[in-house]
Amino acid sequence: MRLFILGGLLLLIQINIAFGQSKDLKKANQLFKEDKYALAIPHYQKALKTRKNLSIKSKLAFCYKITNQMTAAAKLYEEIVSNDRAKVTSYLYYAETLMSSGQYYTAKAWFQKYAAIEIEDETVDRMIAACDFAKTVQPYFGYATATAFTQNSDEDDNSPVFWDNGIVFTSDRKGKLKFLDTKSGATDRSYLRLYHSEVLADGKYGEPKEYISKINDARKNTGMATFQANGSAMFFTRNGTSINKKNAYCLQLFEANSTDGQNWNKAAVIPFCRKSSNYMHPAVSPDGKSLFFVSDKAGGQGGTDIYVSKKQKNRWSRPENLGEQINTDGHEGFPFMHQNGKLYFCSKGHLGLGGFDIFVTEQKEDGTWTKPINLGAPINSPSDDISIFIDENEEKGLFTSSRAGGDDDIFLLSFIPQAVAINKSFEIQPKTEIAIENTPTPSETISADINDTTPEIATTPSSVNNSSPVIIKKEVIEEEIPAFQEKETPITKTTIIHSTDFLQLATIKETQVDASNLYSLPTVQFFEGEYFVTYKIAEVLDKVA
């Protein structure tokens, strides 16, 4: 009798477990159908604990990918693609997650495997080309350094602009009054709001506070602000008030006006917006006569396109698509027009390092645009890099990247002056020397003109005044160095750097390098055929630097 009762209890427990998991799976699938991927993740995770189902794995991996949890997505896709029953789209998604971590060689192989089956998908050809292109991208700003904003949160922080003695930016961080916080179903986080971080007396940024409470909406996404230079107008994005045919409140562009750049009147939707499409990422030109923005409205090149509207007396003109030189069949976004006339924007359609990259273009006399240039490092990375903003004097800037862990973070840009003095005859005192030795591999020959002042690295070693970046130039190698052999002492030339508060001076000294004393870094591993320095490798190299 006891055995019978025990067996019945075990059966009942199994039934309850199965019912609970079935309930989780049903809930997850419903949330997935509603595009609420963040909310679906924990339910899929529970269902997957006992049901190693390929379909559950695929949906969970997609949820990870769409919410920018690329490491988790790549790990799961690695399991999925090893299954003979995996859908071919899994090859594509796996390749994209690999590319986002800088594994271009392996990513290219999976893109090619996908392309061999889906021969009509022409977009994958661009991804294959991007895997090769990523290894060749040169920095657009040769003298730029990027530093993480000290007030970043564990949530998304993006779209920063310099304004009102600080930075105005967008974030879905938790509000102060948590009991009033409402969450977005798509992200399972607070709705986006505008925040302001003031520059303090010591030059640091203070704790962010909500910027203009009457502009932020507790139950709608509000953000991506841009300001007219004279402070008379502010433009931003917010969910509209009308539901479209897809039962969604599309993003719309709003304009608020002010007489002092501080107090804003009630914002109104810009008339050319339509509730059936999304209008977002506004950027007003420095002269206030052009409003750039992004939309997925019909008639574009595909995905999201960048448009411009011109100010005509007291109204904005019908928007014009910037054309196929800028817009692609992929996604473009976050335009920014600088005082010098250069237009910056991000794109997934142009060749890049992975994810969104930031590009720059200029308008020609005939109204067309020059071919966009990829900004390269340190601004672009294998992750998503978006929403750049550069001050009028091109001394500092801001941009957003997901490189630091999946969520969007703000980075501060510093543009080092290009007037770097190089003096061959300047003798440096031993106390202030920093010797950076570079011995090429036998197959490499590095050549550089001593008059070329373009730095390879901008860094700040602890042994130098922290306010003065040290510029490390390429080695000057006059001829190929032979392979190391036992008892040989090859000669290389070493760049010695000296830094003061106002300039950098460098001289070249010949140094005898003993091959037996070279550093070995076993933790620095490259994928087969790869030489791209990923962020994990960079962390190790930073310690050496």
The candidate with the shortest Cα–Cα distance to 280, out of 247, 310, 246, 254, is: 254
pLDDT given at position 404: 85
Share of the chain above pLDDT 70, in %: 72
pLDDT digits (tens, 9 = 90+) for 511-544: 555 555 555 666 666 655 556 666 667 777 777 7
Residue 178 above 50 pLDDT? yes
Residue 179 above 80 pLDDT? no
User: Does residue 440 or residue 76 have the better pLDDT?
Assistant: 76
CB 375 within 8 A of CB 358: yes
User: Does residue 500 or residue 512 have the better pLDDT?
Assistant: 512
pLDDT given at position 192: 94
CA gyration radius, the chain: 27
Sheet holding 144-148, edge to edge: 144-148, 409-415, 396-401, 385-390
* Both structure tokens of 325: 């030189």
Residue 379 above 80 pLDDT? yes
User: Does residue 186 or residue 171 have the better pLDDT?
Assistant: 171
Q: Whole-angstrom Cα distance, residue 491 to residue 22? A: 70
Q: Whole-angstrom Cα distance, residue 262 to residue 394? A: 25
Q: CA-CA distances (angstroms) from residue 426 to 257, 422, 430, 431, 497?
A: 57, 9, 13, 15, 11
For the chain, what is the mean pLDDT?
A: 79
pLDDT digits (tens, 9 = 90+) for 256-288: 999 887 789 999 999 999 999 999 999 999 999
Residue 372 above 90 pLDDT? yes
Q: How many CA atoms lie within 13 A of 107 on its CB side?
A: 28
pLDDT given at position 1: 45
Read off the pLDDT band of 488 (50, 70, 90).
very low
Residues in the chain: 545
pLDDT given at position 23: 87
pLDDT given at position 540: 73
pLDDT given at position 177: 55
pLDDT digits (tens, 9 = 90+) for 423-481: 333 333 333 333 333 333 333 322 233 233 333 333 323 333 333 333 333 333 333 33
pLDDT digits (tens, 9 = 90+) for 321-332: 999 999 999 999
Amino acid at 129: A
Read off the pLDDT band of 189 (50, 70, 90).
confident
Q: Whole-angstrom Cα distance, residue 237 to residue 279? A: 7
Mean pLDDT, range 164-172, rounded to an integer: 95
Q: Can you count the helices (H) and strands (E) in the chain? A: 8, 26
Q: Whole-angstrom Cα distance, residue 519 to residue 512? A: 15
Q: What share of the chain is helix, strand, coil (3-state, %, to 5)?
A: 25, 25, 50
Mean pLDDT, range 4-21, rounded to an integer: 46
pLDDT given at position 7: 47
Residue 502 above 60 pLDDT? no
Amino acid at 151: Q
Residue holding tokens 């949820």? 63
Which DSSP state fits 171?
E
* Both structure tokens of 98: 């690999």
Residues in CB range of 203: below 8 A, 6 or more apart: none
pLDDT given at position 369: 96
